Structure 1
Amino acid sequence: MDPASDAVRIGVVSDTHGLLRPEVPPLLEGCDLILHAGDVGDPAILTSLEGLAPTRAVRGNVDGGPLRALPLTEAVEVAGHLIYMVHIPEDLDLDPVAAGVSVVIHGHTHRPRAERIDGVLHLNPGSIGPRRFSLPVTFAFLRLFPGGVEWEHVGLGL
């Protein structure tokens, strides 16, 4: 049996700041779950994402109004893996290794990042919202399967 055939495909986005680029939804179609790592900027973005797949989000530092109801952190268990989301990486409020976390997802910096620290993947999908400085416009895919985690950053080439 191929363990990758049992993979769960997750779209990971962050820092939309009120802009869901039209190129993004078709790319997220077919995901089992979408995770938004904060700075949503407009509740309509979460509604749009929810139309593609179940969506979970955390509150970013610019999320006011109705978005203040979003949690600052969120733990999501998927395919035997614990994913922990926080917008600002320095606000990580637990020891991921001690908590049994497989993946920490964050945003805030708008910089794509994938780094393993003590066996835990720390993933920033980058930003798909308004361009910031000369940073690329990116999001990420996670593939979770028994015994493994794979990721891929996707650049929109904008």
Structure 2
Amino acid sequence: MNKILIVSDSHGLTKELEILRERYIQDVDLMIHCGDSQLMPDEKPITGYLTVLGNCDFGGYPMETVTEIGERKIFITHGHKYSVKTSLMNLKYKAREYKANIVCFGHSHVLGAEVIDGILFLNPGSIRLPRERFEKTYMILDLFEDKIKLSVFELNGREIADLAREFILPKR
């Protein structure tokens, strides 16, 4: 099993990113930040996070990246270049190009998880300025051989249990 922390849209928060890193560094195999950290890549709070460039970020980060963990291929982007506030269609086509079975993105600040055509799309919401919910959220993804377990947490570490889900996805 592999475990991933996914966070996005922290918009200048520093202490909170450090708290998350310290809370999970021993338990996760990968920490993803989906952009709009508004921090430079060499700043301590963002250290250890695989980070992409958001529309409020400047320099030093890739626009998007792809990584593999276990049998899963993960496409990470902020989402602003794919119009994610209106549709996931552009993101889906790009994920297919990369042969990714998981997509992590932000930009809308709206927490969400859904499977479209065998691809799991994850938006962890925002730990600073959430939309459509009051909770400031991030995700933990447990990758098992035969399933994926999603857990959603508030910034203070409290799990939002009714949002937990399991997904069965084909491997690459």
TM-score grouping bracket, smaller chain normalisation: 0.7 to 0.9
Q: How many residues align?
A: 146
User: CA 1:133 to 1:142, structure 2 compared with 1: closer, same or farther past 3 Å?
Assistant: closer
Q: Among residues 34, 37, 57, which one is paired with 1:37 in the alignment?
A: 34
Partners of 1:78 and 1:139 lie apart in 2 by 19
What displacement does 1:93 show?
7.8
Q: Among residues 16, 20, 23, which one is paired with 1:24 in the alignment?
A: 20
What displacement does 1:99 show?
3.6
* SS in structure 2 of the partner of residue 43 of structure 1: coil
| Greater length-normalized contact order (CA 8 Å, ≥ 6 residues apart) | 1
State the Cα RMSD in Å. Answer: 2.7
TM value normalised by structure 1? 0.78
Deviations, residues 26-69 of structure 1 (Å, cap 9, x unaligned) = 4323211100000011137863353xxx42110000002xxx12
Are the equivalent residues in 2 in contact too, given 1:128–1:137 (CA < 8 A)? yes
Partners of 1:45 and 1:132 lie apart in 2 by 29
TM value normalised by structure 2? 0.72
Q: Which residue of 2 aligns with 1:96?
A: 95
* SS in structure 1 of the partner of residue 127 of structure 2: coil
Q: Which residue of 2 aligns with 1:146?
A: 145
User: CA 1:49 to 1:110, structure 2 compared with 1: closer, same or farther past 3 Å?
Assistant: same
Partners of 1:13 and 1:151 lie apart in 2 by 13
- Structure 1 gaps of 5+ residues are 1-6
